């Protein structure tokens, strides 16, 4: 990087982004991108991944397209840039048709330096027409682990990124994630349509040494509440997220909190979209706020001063666990992550794995049952269809997984919940391939096993996490096992 470029870089950092200095390898990564090379960035949550594409976007001549997985995340990132007076926009299904058309026109006319879209947007002819009229200087793939077939949050449209790159005339590409095992890293590079020598990998590790890691093995719900109460009240009430696996358990604890006059918010997927937005805003604005949440309360939480993350139940994987505790202490201050492990959690997670991995015969059964309903399909609710398929066993949630698979692989459009489900394609062979199904099932079981091993280990907890993600060991001194 020459002196003039470096001077301009530092000027934008301080004047536009209002940041005094670069952190970790940000400057090297940005220099790589500006030199015309591709980059895969693995960086802990809260350590400034976004700057690695946002700053180059302002120095490059054309448009930067950011592929992002969540509507809320897009809006939050876009709003943050607009507050800095950076010309940014987003296009997703939350916008009205007229608003989307207006933004397509803006792209064609040369507006925006940065545009956020989901990977599904590349299926839209109007979007492709608009971006084809622009010079695309940079393609940023946020939450890149979604591209991997074996990542925790796989999205099939992410797997088409090499096609998008070809359509965009192979712009410089930067892929970013906080969590990726070595196998997932290789998968990401392959899905980007690259060889390993065509992309620089920046592995910043997964160190967040300001987070104290602790696990308590508990017998029952009463002991869980006692520890939660002690962590929150006896140690001084702090900005806290308490994660639950089941909505029922969350609601039960909310009642216990009310009985004990502990002020709190509650957030889960069964609330209306407006109510979830309202609670989200309250969490960002209130001081000394406690929120009980399922993992539906996830990406897009841009609050630096979260002091405490409690997992009231054991997560399904170290990927999810690490992403969720990474929301604490982004301001660099000391904070705590407490995992409460109960033997009953294991049974719940094994049920989840069973529901998440229906066999080929059940997938076919759902497909043909829904197809045979024809035009009558939207006369039934989700509960009606579930009853027809699993014979009134309301605890069998395989149908939900199958419907998600149909949506992800473009078999259907719409939803049973909104009574507008439509079949758009045939059932792909992959979804009924037994070897594929068994491989996914085996992977989910191994993830759960590794999570269990972490909960029960007597060794350094950071070493256990680092080993899982293929990162180097470190001096910890800030987990319950090291302290003891």
In whole angstroms, what separates CA 152 from the centre of its chain? 9
Q: What are phi and psi of 407, to 5 degrees?
A: -70, -45
Residues 337-348: pLDDT tens digits? Answer: 999 999 888 889
Give yes or no on whether 3-203 and 211-341 have one common fold: yes
Bigger pLDDT: 182 vs 234: 182
The fold adopted by the segment(s) 3-203 is: Rossmann fold (3.40.50)
Residues 165-215: pLDDT tens digits? Answer: 999 999 999 999 988 888 889 989 999 999 999 999 998 877 788 999 999
Give pTM, 2 decimals. 0.81
Is 90 exceeded by the pLDDT of residue 151? no
Q: Helix, strand or coil for residue 342?
A: coil
Q: What is the DSSP letter of 376?
A: G
Residues 89-135: pLDDT tens digits? Answer: 999 988 999 999 999 999 999 999 999 999 889 889 999 999 999 99
Judge contact between 266 and 291, C-beta under 8 A: yes
What are the extents of the domains in the chain? 3-203, 211-341, 351-432
Spatial distance between the Cα atoms of 398 and 17, rounded to a whole number of angstroms: 46
Q: Helix, strand or coil for residue 200?
A: strand
Which CATH architecture fits 211-341? 3-Layer(aba) Sandwich (3.40)
Q: What is the DSSP letter of 377?
A: G
Spatial distance between the Cα atoms of 306 and 303, rounded to a whole number of angstroms: 7
Residues 155-178: pLDDT tens digits? Answer: 778 878 999 999 999 999 999 998
pLDDT value of position 413 = 83
pLDDT value of position 152 = 59
Residues 6+ apart with CB under 8 A from 26: 48, 51, 52
């Amino acid at each position: 990087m020459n002196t003039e470029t470096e001077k301009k870089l530092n000027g934008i950092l301080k004047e536009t982004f209002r940041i005094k200095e670069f952190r970790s390898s940000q400057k090297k990564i940005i220099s790589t991108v500006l030199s015309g090379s591709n980059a895969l960035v693995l960086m802990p949550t809260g350590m400034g991944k976004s700057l690695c594409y946002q700053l180059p976007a302002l120095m490059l001549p054309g448009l930067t397209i950011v592929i992002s997985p969540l509507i809320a995340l897009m809006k939050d990132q876009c709003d943050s840039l607009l507050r800095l007076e950076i010309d940014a926009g987003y296009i997703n299904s939350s916008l009205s048709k007229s608003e989307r058309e207006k933004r397509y026109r803006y792209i064609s006319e040369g507006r925006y330096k940065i545009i956020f879209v989901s990977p599904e947007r590349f299926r839209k002819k109007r979007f492709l027409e608009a971006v084809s009229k622009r010079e695309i200087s940079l393609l940023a793939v946020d939450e890149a682990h979604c591209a991997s077939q074996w990542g925790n949050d796989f999205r099939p449209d992410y797997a088409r990124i090499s096609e998008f790159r070809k359509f965009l005339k192979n712009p410089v590409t930067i892929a970013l994630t906080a969590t990726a095992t070595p196998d997932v890293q290789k998968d990401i590079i392959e899905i980007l349509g690259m060889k390993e020598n065509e992309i620089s990998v920046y592995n910043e590790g997964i160190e967040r040494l300001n987070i104290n890691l602790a696990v308590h093995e508990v017998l029952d719900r009463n002991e869980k509440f006692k520890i939660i109460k002690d962590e929150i009240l006896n140690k001084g009430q702090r900005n806290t997220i308490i994660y639950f696996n089941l909505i029922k358990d969350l609601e039960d604890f909310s009642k216990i909190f009310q009985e004990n006059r502990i002020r709190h918010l509650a957030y889960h997927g069964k609330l209306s979209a407006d109510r979830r937005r309202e609670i989200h805003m309250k969490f960002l604005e209130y001081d000394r706020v406690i929120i009980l949440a399922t993992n539906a309360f996830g990406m897009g939480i841009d609050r630096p001063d979260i002091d405490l993350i409690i997992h009231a139940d054991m997560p399904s994987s170290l990927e999810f666990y690490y992403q969720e505790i990474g929301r604490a202490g982004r301001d660099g201050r000391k904070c705590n992550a407490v995992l409460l492990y109960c033997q009953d959690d294991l049974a719940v997670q094994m049920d989840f794995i069973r529901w998440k991995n229906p066999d080929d015969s059940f997938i076919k059964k759902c497909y043909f049952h829904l197809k045979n309903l024809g035009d009558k399909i939207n006369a039934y609710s989700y509960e009606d269809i579930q009853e027809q398929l699993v014979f009134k066993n309301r605890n069998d949630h395989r149908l939900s997984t199958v419907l998600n698979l149909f949506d992800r692989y473009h078999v259907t459009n719409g939803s049973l919940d909104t009574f507008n489900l439509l079949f758009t394609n045939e059932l792909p062979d992959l979804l009924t391939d037994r070897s594929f199904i068994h491989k996914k099932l085996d992977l989910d079981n191994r993830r759960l096993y590794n999570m269990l091993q972490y909960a029960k280990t007597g060794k350094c907890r950071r070493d256990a996490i680092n080993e899982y993600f293929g990162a180097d060991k470190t001096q910890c001194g800030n987990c319950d096992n090291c302290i003891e």
